[in-house]
Structures are given as structure tokens and as C-alpha cells.
Amino acid sequence: MKLDIRKEDIGSSSARSLDGSFRKPRSDAQNNDVESSSGRSLDGSFRKPRSVASVPAASINSKTFVPASEVYKVIKECASRLVDQNLFTQYLEDWVLDNLHSHKNNGEIHPHSPFQVDEICSLDLALEGVLFQQMFRMPFSSPDAEGLREDELLALDDLLRTMAEGLWHTFWHRNKPMPFHVSFARYPGSKFYTIEKATSKGRLNELSGAALISKTGGKLRSRWHDVILCSLLKDNIMMGDEYCFSSIVACEALFYAVHILLARSLSKGNTVRNECVFILVLDSKLGGVIKLGGDLGNLEMDLNNPYQSVAEWIKCHAEVCFSPIEQVWNKLGNVNWRDLGTLQLLLASFHSIAQCVGPPRKSIDSLASNHILRLHQRRIECRLAENDSYLVSPHDEDHHQEIAEIESHNNQNLNRQERLVKLNEDEILVIEDRHLQQRSFQIQGSLAQGISSYVAVSLDNPTELLTLYVGAHTSRLEPSWEDMSLWYQVQRQTKVLNIFKEQGITSKFLPEVIASGRILHSGPCEKQSPKGCCDHPSCGTPVLVTYPVGEMLSSIVAQHGPFSAEEAIRCCRDCLAALRSAKMANIQHGDICPEHIICAVDRTRCSCLYILVSWGRAILEDKDTAPINLQFSSSYALQNGKLCPSSDAESLVYLMYFICGGSMKQQDSIESALHWKQRCWGKRVIQQRLGEVSPVLKAFADYIDSLCGTPYPVDYDTWLKRLSRAVDNSADRGKTIDVALNTQDMGESSGTSGGGNSSTC
């Protein structure tokens, strides 16, 4: 049957639900019963008991199918008639007062917040080091102040933009522009304005707040269904002298939230998931968050009185949560970025952006986990500062204190050696991964390329040699450079290599994670928690197993001398392919040197593979500090402690200079290292030496010289083609160079010759 939605028909008969069913209108007695029995749910939201709020369908047409077009018409009609905020407030204010402020006499000023305290703490740790650059200050408003509305709106605009940009570049994309913009509205459903446009039209004082809006198709079109986050700027949001929302302000925020939910439901091309809406409610000092969520399919719409229908839906079916009101701006107009009030706004913005663009590339918990690293770095700095104050003692006590300090230092070294887990040849090591699966490995010997590094084989495949790194449990880490090196070598490198794996980046020029987890020792274990450890020295010790095993370039050069032209070009090509693969994940190595490149045998081609290892110091985000190597770090890294896009390629040029027989003296300071690099580039010492080996290496050095310190990226594909052609020597070998990223990443471009300098194999 065709549904007629005339007012008199709907008003005199059963009310229609948006899920397609028909229900009789509730009697006054039923409504009174429902209102008197509402209460707060255990999760902090306020809903009425379903046994009272749900009225069973009694219409004879309750099973009649209603087309989606009819449902669309009802929602559209509801949105068009829901225009009077004061009338909406009349239907909802008593419920807000009765429920949201019912606990104030029991000492609970606020209802349950939409955010847990642990969430806010994790966000605070994740945002350590993130700079929120505020330009506009919130003016200090007083009852006698006039003409401050424009300054207040500019401060609100700046707050929303700064929060969105900071969150976007921290959690989603470091380099891509933010796909949102900020516009202002007068009331729900009104046109959006910029501050300049509202001023020119004389409507500046009518603007009620700002919205963060998605750029649909990259265009700055402001529509209500594209609103990600809405904010209201009021004169005062408090209820009297109490730190809780005024009921009128709360109803206004819910009025906006309902309109946004309805607009999203009406949009066919909506990109924002219609789960819930966060409304930021602020004045010139304080701020808080109001959350409204729920299924509009449960909305029983009576078009004669849409206000009562929506109010009943909020009371019975929606989830309403109010955060505490906290200070956002101080008296100077600056935002308290690390305080509870602003962290609540940031967390609401984070969830709103996630509804629009999907889950972030970096989660809050993953970034918060880096706090332990920053904490250890701070402890190291404090320990070094304390040691400096005791290095020199006055007068006659010098000799006694020097002897005491030497003995103490030796004792610390002995204790550290005792803490390290040492494995013997033929020892069987059992590892438990994060999925509680166990794997066994047999130690074949130790590696000379680092502390706690071993050659091992898996008992499942004993013919394949693997590299096994043993770290130190976080509860046993000491603030020393040696122990922090273990942390970088195992825990942080595991994180970086897992990022490659999760993003589908696999390459024969990158180490492959075979297993990672914690050591399971023999005998009983008395640890108190799954992540804890008992008194056994190896209990819970983190382990990383990678493939393959190889010899360091520094050892090859020391034993056999400089590389041949073919092997030098192959090494450059392989390392550049590894850097190109890492760039796909926006990761830079940051610590390229001869000790961090190994030469392994490619059994399929009887030639060498050069693999870039030691990814523990990799740069994942802007706030990461680049490691310093006076010989091989780029000039930009030495000067700024950060990397530019070409820093890894510049370090690769220094590496080529080294393996081709170039003279590299030990440097004793950053100033001397910078002077040496400047002289070498200025006098073209590096290009001349590489030109004696290969013209393509000289051309690559010239290209990198033009990029050093600039924001321009390296053209990896072009240089991989040129280097691969030089390795293959000619095109008639029947190999086609495929520079597109695939599962082997330049796997088909390895040289087919088994020659070169055989000493490097």
C-alpha cells in the first residue's frame, strides 16, 4: 500500500516509526510513567528502561513494508520542521535537569564523561612533543566588554584548525594536507560563513559557533552532512556557580547534534559515519564535550509534533554523555594544551576525524608506548648531569674519590654483564610470541657485529641460517647507552619491521621478521603477570629473529680492501631499493653506515645481496631525533638533529666513498665533521673518487649534492633504473628491469653475473 503522510492522517492514527513499523501514540499516562522512571545507565549515558519506554506495535499495518523513499521523506520533513530551538528546549529541559544534574547533591557534579581517564592519559602521552602552534588568543571577556566577538571567533577558529592539523599530521598523514576546513554557522541548517563574509553582511554577532567540515572531493563546500565536529561559543556555559553545563546550553548542543545526525541520514554521498556527534561547548575560559549517539531507525515520528518525537527518542533510545567542564584558556588567552579541558576537546576531535576518514595509521596506544623511550632518555640525561658534578673533587680528597669512582664504575660494568642474557653454542631457545605460540631455535654461534647477536637456526627448518637478537626486559633496563642500544636493537627494530609487514612492504633488500617475542626459560616461572618477569635472568627477555645472516661491509673492507666497480654499484642499487621501500611507509633509516649493511648470498642468482639492517633508530615521525654518526650522518642531521628527505641518500654517498677506497678520518666533533663534509663537497673530492670507479656513481653523487638540505625528495625510480642498467652491463641479458613496488621489490633486477670482487661474497 502507498503510505500517505498527511498531518491529519498521522496525527489521528498510529505514529510511524522510521524502521517501517507503526505504533499507536502513547497516552499521557504512559508518557508520564516513562518520564518519571528515566535514569542513568551504567555506562554513563541516560536512557529510559526499555520495558517502560518501548510501546508494542498494535497497528494492523505494523508489518507493512515501507519503501526507503518514504522513510527519507519523513526524515526530510522532520528536519525541515525542527527549527524552533526554544520549543525543543521546552520538551527536553526538565529531563536534562532531572537526569543530568540529579547527582549534584550526592557530591557528583557531573554525569559520566564520554571518555575514560585512561583514554585521556594515553592521549596525553601520545602527544608528547607534538607542537600545537596557537596564533590567536582568546580575549578576556568581562560584563562590560564590547566588540570582542570577532576576536573570540578568531580564537575559536584557530583552536579548531590547530587541533585538527596536529591530530591529522600526528596520527594519519605526516606530509599530506589536512582534508578539513572551518566554517561558522548562525543556527542549525543555516548557511556557513567565514568571519570576513559574516562581517561584510553584518551577521558577525549572529554566529553561534564553528564547525570542522570535510572537503568533499577536495572542494571547500560547506554542507551540514559533511560536518565532522561542531562547536558552540557561549558567554557562559556553567549552571550558576557550579562546574556543570547549564540546561539551556545543553539543550542547544543537543539541538545541533540532532540536526547533524538528520543531515547525515539524508545525504546520499555522506562520507561521515552516522554513529554519533560530538559537540564542543565553550566560553572564553571553560569548555566541555557533549556526545549524542543512537539509531534514528528507532525514531517514532509524529509530524504534528516533531519536537516531542525527537525528545522522546533522545530520552528513550539515544546515548547522551556530558564531560566535566574544565579550563581551556588561561587569563592570557593561551590554550592549556596539556590540561584536562583541552585533552577532552582533542579526544573528541580525534574520534570525530576517525568517523570521517577511518582509523588512524598510528594508534594512540602505539604512540603512547614511546613514552618509555623518552623516559629512559631523560634518565640518561639526569644520570650524566649527576656524574658530571662528581667528576672533580677538591684538594686532598681527589685520590680517594677517584679510586672510589673507578671501583663503582667497574662494579656497574660487571653488574651489567651479569644482567645480559648470554647464549651458548647448540643451546635451544624457546620463544613465545604475542599470540602465545612457541617456536624453538638452536644457537650456532655469536656474531661480531653487535652485542647479544647470534647465528641461529629454526628447528622447523634447520638448513636456513638466521640472525637472533637478544634484548633486555624493560623492568631490567638501566639508563645506560649499552642497555638503550639493546632496546633499539630489539624492541624498536621489531616495531619498525612489523610496520613494513603490516603495510605489505616486503623486499629482499630489507630484513625479514621470522619471529619476535619473549624467552621461555626452563623450570617453574613465578611471574605475576603475562608481561612481567620472575627472578630468572632470562625470563621475559625480548628476542627478535630475522633473515638472512650476512657479513658487515666494514669487515669486508678491512679484510679484502675496496670494492670493485660492479659490486659498489650493486651495493648502491640494493641500498637505494631498500630506502625506496621504506619511503612507502614514510620511514627513514637515519643511521646508514658500514656496520648496518650486510652482504648475503643470493642463492637464486649466485651473486651478492646487500641488505640494510639495524632499523631500530629509524625515523617514524617528525619528533624522532636522528642518531649522530660524525662520518656518515648527513650535514642536515648534524646541524639540526633531524633528517631532510635526502639525508639517507647523502649517507649512502659517504658509504660509497668509503667502500671505494676514499679516505675518511676520524672526527672528534660535529664542527670538524661539518667542516670535512663541506670541504669534500666544495672541492668535489667525493665525486672525483667515485668517478674513478664508475661514471654512474659520480652522477649519483652530483645529483644528491644538488638535493642536500632541501625539502625535495629523491627520485628513487630513475636512479634505480640507471644503477640496474649499470649492474646488468647491457640490455641483451634478457632481463627487464621492473622498478614498480612488488612483493620482491627489485627482486628481478639483481645482477645475473656471479662475478665482481669475489672477496665481497
Which set of grid coordinates corresponds to residue 142?
568581562
Q: H helices within 168-285, ranges in order?
A: 195-200, 247-266
- For residue 489, the enclosing domain spans 428-549
pLDDT at 747: 36
Domain-embedded: residue 389:
no
Last residue of a domain, one of 333, 362, 391: 362
pLDDT at 362: 84
Q: Are residues 180 and 321 in the same domain?
A: yes
Which set of grid coordinates corresponds to residue 233?
561559543
Greater confidence, 706 or 50? 706
Q: Are residues 544 and 601 in the same domain?
A: no
Which set of grid coordinates corresponds to residue 340?
584536562
Summary mean pLDDT of the chain: 78
For 378-393, give the DSSP string: HHHHHHHHHHHTTS--
Which set of grid coordinates corresponds to residue 700?
649519483
Residue 274 backbone phi and psi in degrees, to 5: -90, 60
> CA 148, CA 150: separation in Å to the nearest integer?
6
> CA 203, CA 149: separation in Å to the nearest integer?
11
Domain-embedded: residue 233:
yes
Task: Dump pLDDT digits (tens) for 311-334.
Answer: 999 988 888 988 889 999 988 889
Q: Are residues 542 and 574 in the same domain?
A: no
Last residue of a domain, one of 549, 576, 598: 549
pLDDT at 648: 96
Domain-embedded: residue 256:
yes
Instruction: Give 743's pLDDT tier (boundaries 50, 70, 90).
Output: very low
- Residue range 68-78: average pLDDT? 77
Picking from 117, 12, 14, 127, the residue whose alpha carbon sits closest to that of residue 62 is: 14
pLDDT over 90 at 498, yes or no: yes
Greater confidence, 649 or 375? 649
Instruction: Give 296's pLDDT tier (boundaries 50, 70, 90).
Output: confident
Q: Are residues 78 and 205 in the same domain?
A: yes
pLDDT at 101: 60
Q: Is this model's pTM higher than 0.85 or not?
A: no
pLDDT at 99: 66
Q: Are residues 533 and 602 in the same domain?
A: no
Which amino acid, residue 334?
N
> CA 568, CA 756: separation in Å to the nearest integer?
9
Picking from 621, 649, 660, the residue whose alpha carbon sits closest to that of residue 718 is: 649
Domain at 586, CATH number: 1.10.510.10
pLDDT over 60 at 664, yes or no: yes
User: How many domains would you assign to the chain?
Assistant: 3
pLDDT over 90 at 242, yes or no: no
> CA 216, CA 226: separation in Å to the nearest integer?
8
pLDDT at 569: 95
Greater confidence, 110 or 484? 484
Local structure of 545: helix, strand or coil = strand
Domain-embedded: residue 644:
yes
> CA 426, CA 443: separation in Å to the nearest integer?
5
Task: Dump pLDDT digits (tens) for 597-632.
Answer: 999 977 666 678 999 999 999 999 888 888 989 999
Picking from 411, 284, 320, 409, the residue whose alpha carbon sits closest to that of residue 96 is: 320
Domain-embedded: residue 413:
no
Q: Are residues 224 and 308 in the same domain?
A: yes
Task: Dump pLDDT digits (tens) for 699-739.
Answer: 999 999 999 988 899 999 999 999 999 987 633 343 333 33
Last residue of a domain, one of 549, 565, 596: 549
Q: Are residues 599 and 482 in the same domain?
A: no
pLDDT at 376: 62
Domain-embedded: residue 480:
yes
Q: Are residues 517 and 576 in the same domain?
A: no
Q: Are residues 471 and 574 in the same domain?
A: no
Picking from 601, 592, 593, 574, the residue whose alpha carbon sits closest to that of residue 760 is: 601
pLDDT at 631: 93
Q: Are residues 619 and 703 in the same domain?
A: yes
Domain-embedded: residue 378:
no
pLDDT at 458: 92
Domain-embedded: residue 353:
yes
Helix (H) or strand (E) holding 512: strand 512-520
Task: Dump pLDDT digits (tens) for 430-471.
Answer: 998 877 788 999 999 888 655 689 999 999 888 889 999 998
pLDDT over 60 at 641, yes or no: yes
> CA 21, CA 519: separation in Å to the nearest integer?
60
> CA 343, CA 132: separation in Å to the nearest integer?
12
Range scoring the smallest mean pLDDT among 136-145, 294-303, 375-384: 375-384
Domain at 485, CATH number: 3.30.200.20
> CA 1, CA 360: separation in Å to the nearest integer?
47
Q: Is the peptide bond before 56 cis (omega within 30 degrees of 0)?
A: no
Spatial contact of 303 and 74, defined as CB atoms under 8 Å apart: yes
In DSSP terms, which residues pair with 610 in a beta bridge? 599
Q: Are residues 112 and 204 in the same domain?
A: yes
DSSP 168: I
Q: Are residues 113 and 232 in the same domain?
A: yes
Which set of grid coordinates corresponds to residue 706?
644538488
Spatial contact of 13 and 58, defined as CB atoms under 8 Å apart: no
